[in-house]
Chain A
Amino acid sequence: MMRPAAMLLALSLAFGVASAKEAEPLAEDPAVEERLNRLAEEIRCLVCQNESLAGSRAELANDLRREIRNLIKSGKSDKEIIDYLVQRYGDFVLYRPPVKSTTYLLWGGPFLLLLGGGAALIVYLRRRGAQLKEAPLSDDQHARAARLLEEQGGERS
């Protein structure tokens, strides 16, 4: 009877240790943490580039989250915090690149393609419409069509 009890004790101790480690980045202020997470979703982690700062466990990401947390606590606006990061790491940290002269094509390109595609489609449809003239049927064909229609009508009734 003692054995399972001892095992239970050991297990609970083990879990105690594990959860103590898990809770390390404890949120002292939920409002700060929420803003941090919202901002961090928009920021690229430079170490593992396909992860956001919010999702990354890289050391630099931890450091940057710490810096952002401090900036939030010192009352900086979201824009000031984003500027702080862009000044140091460039536009690349932003998942949403800013609209400026070097990114006009990036932002406008898809719409240009859409316009071009739409224009090409309209031209194509018009041309095809002009080509599809009604071809008059010869007498033979009229007679055959009439026969076919009659046959079908007969089968249905």
Chain B
Amino acid sequence: MGKMRFLLPLAIFLIMAAFLVKGLFLNPREVPSPLIDKPAPSFSLVQLHEPERTLAREDLKGQVWLFNVWASWCVSCREEHPLLVELSRQGLVPIYGLNYKDKREDALGWLAQFGNPYTASVVDRDGRVGIDYGVYGVPETFVVDKNGVIRYKQIGPVTRDALDKKIIPLVKQLQQS
């Protein structure tokens, strides 16, 4: 009993410290999306390059695709952009862009300057589709499977690490299934 008196508070302290240390390494900006393993919200939006044509979620069924939320005003989009361009050159998976709350001419200019990795970009002028996808910080990237179900969400810029360890293996696995 005498030993317990000292060991018990120590044990409680260690447990609390373990939780707090773990908390230090959590990123509060990465809010887990409730949309994972749920059908991608439907949309039907005007395309950026061909405003007379629309693109809908239903058009993309039967293939694995990436949905990348971007904007010309978004600084971290520049960070990830070269990686997306590189990925599109590999032709592994089509990347569709959601041009989020942007001006058309700015968006077109931005793609002309930095390269266009997108099979097509659709225009979300007032951010409503963004809200349906739970977008809160551009850029965000979704991996959608053949049945139109969201399987992964990258919050913030796509990094080389995320691409090699998460996104590409997942895409390959989903393409085979």
Contact = CB atoms under 8 A, between A and B. Distances in A.
The A interface, classified by DSSP as helix, strand, loop or mixed, is helix
Indicate the size class of the contact surface on chain B: 10 to 19
A90 B127 contact: no
Nearest to A113: B12
A89 B136 contact: yes
Contact of A88 (B28, B126, B127, B131): B131
B34 A49 contact: no
Contacts of A90: 31-34, 134
B149 interface: no
Interface string B62-81: 00000000000000000000
Interface in A47-77: 47, 49, 59-60, 63-64, 67
A88 B133 contact: yes
Interface residues of A, number: 15
B137 interface: yes
Contact of A89 (B28, B29, B31): B31
A106 interface: no
Contacts, number: 40
B150 to A, nearest CB: 12
B104 interface: no
Contacts of A63: 126-128, 130-131
A47 B31 contact: no
Given A46-B136, A46-B137, A64 B34 contact: no
Contacts of A67: 128, 131
A106 B99 CA distance: 39
A37 to B, nearest CB: 19
A86 B34 contact: yes
B151 interface: no
Interface string A6-50: 000000000000000000000000000000000000000011010
Contact of B31 (A46, A60, A64): A46
Given A46-B31, A88-B35, A60 B133 contact: no
A87 interface: yes
A89 B134 contact: yes
A49 B28 CA distance: 9
A63 B127 CA distance: 7
Nearest to B138: A60
B113 to A, nearest CB: 24
Interface in B10-57: 28-29, 31-35
B132 interface: yes
Contacts of A87: 34
Contacts of B133: 88
Given A46-B137, A63-B127, 4 more contacts: A60-B136, A86-B34, A90-B31, A90-B32
Interface of B: 28-29, 31-35, 101, 126-128, 130-137
Interface of A: 46-47, 49, 59-60, 63-64, 67, 86-92
Nearest 4 Cβ contacts at the A-B interface? A46-B136, A88-B134, A90-B34, A92-B31
